[in-house]
Amino acid sequence: MKASNGEILLEVRNLVKHFPLRRSLKDIMQGKRSAVRAVDGVSFFVRRGEILGLVGESGCGKTTTGRVLLRLEEPTSGEIIFDGQDITQLSRQEMTRLRRRMQIVFQDPYDSMNPNLDVFRIVAEPLRIQGLARDHDEVTERVARALADVELTPVEEYMHRYPRELSGGQRQRVAIARALVLDPDFIVADEPVSMLDVSIRGGILKILMRLVRERGLSLLFITHDLSLARHFCDRIAVMYLGKIVEHGAADSLVYRPHHPYTQALMDAVLSTDPRQKHIFTGLTGEIPNPANPPSGCRLHPRCPLATGLCRTEEPPLVEHKDGHWAACHHVEQSLARLEAKVTTAAAAEAE
């Protein structure tokens, strides 16, 4: 996956994050070292002013990828190139300074805030850590501006409230304001609306979209909802069991998914047709154990197109059309299966 260097803000090359497991006496005697392969050779890039969606089922490694990008978790191996610099080589002090430009919005805004601090101190905390404000008046001005950016107005009414006094949507706006107060270039948004009511999600997404467009922010938007990613993101990367299996422009990936797993995610989106009583994705079984992933293609135990080749040889991530990549040995069969499904659905609707 390539883009011109001038466009790229963040590039990830073969990123790996393994979590070692506690070894049993038997493992020690046999010299075995087991690990959960949460992220296992991931590569992608994020352009300046772009929203990249990272999509997949729970446990696929999405959140771990986001945390490793900011080195909240240390990578096992690989490169994270931010604005031309490999940040995996930076010291802790250097990373602290760099985090002025890289921030994160967590999934649960309540758990990510100190309940003993009011909104003013929560949003001002990054300024204090980074030493970016000269006096109290400047801190107040920057906090007020950040709160206004996330539409918590009038700001005077919110500054001295505590998290317990806010609704879920208001708490998430405070979390976004805390990330914005340093004026970063890149934000990881880890399922920022998954814990909110449907009626509130739209407002949060509009705020994020406006901030991306007005400030030129780059955003990694982590979600399990492919239909949401299609409407919100410029490009989408689909992740399965620690690997990226498909990557492309949002509309191209959603309307013509090349990989059987992406097709299954689309099938899992609820239909508005009341006649559809069951969801059938075409996949069987459960996600394998990430501490002992299958050989070859990791989807092969669940995939209807799996062959002997899939069981023995891992498919490379290959560009099948401009900017549309997929890691599958049987892309042509997968697309033929998709076309047949579309034709059948159209015929059923005509009846």
* 20, 176, 222, 235 from 113: Cα distances, Å: 29, 12, 20, 30
Between 157 and 28, the higher pLDDT residue: 157
pLDDT-derived band at 36, boundaries 50, 70, 90: very high
Does pLDDT of 272 surpass 70?
A: no
Question: Average pLDDT, whole number, for the chain?
Answer: 89
pLDDT-derived band at 28, boundaries 50, 70, 90: low
Tokens of 122: 């929560």
Domains delineated in the chain: 8-101+190-199+214-350 (3.40.50.300), 110-183 (no CATH)
Do residues 236 and 52 touch, judged by C-beta distance below 8 A? Answer: yes
Q: What is the mean pLDDT of residues 130-153?
A: 92
Residues 205-249: tens digit of each pLDDT? 999 999 999 999 999 999 999 989 999 999 999 999 999 999 999
Residues 156-167: tens digit of each pLDDT? 999 999 999 999
SS3 318: strand
pLDDT of residue 249: 96
Alpha-helix runs per DSSP H in the chain? 25-30, 62-69, 92-98, 119-130, 136-149, 168-180, 198-215, 226-232, 250-255, 260-267, 308-312, 331-350
Residues 5-26: tens digit of each pLDDT? 459 999 999 999 999 987 766 6
Between CA 275 and CA 320 the distance in angstroms is 35
Q: How far apart are the first and last CA of the chain?
A: 43
DSSP letters along 35-92, please?
A: EEEEEEEEEEEEETT-EEEEE--TTSSHHHHHHHHTTSS--SEEEEEETTEEGGG--H
Beta bridge partners of 244: 239
pLDDT of residue 4: 45
Strands 324-326 and 243-249: antiparallel
Angle between helices 168-180 and 136-149 (to 10 degrees): 130
Q: What is the mean pLDDT of residues 38-56?
A: 96
Query: Taking Cα atoms as reference points, which of 130, 63, 133, 137 lies closest to residue 101?
Result: 130
Do residues 31 and 197 touch, judged by C-beta distance below 8 A? Answer: no
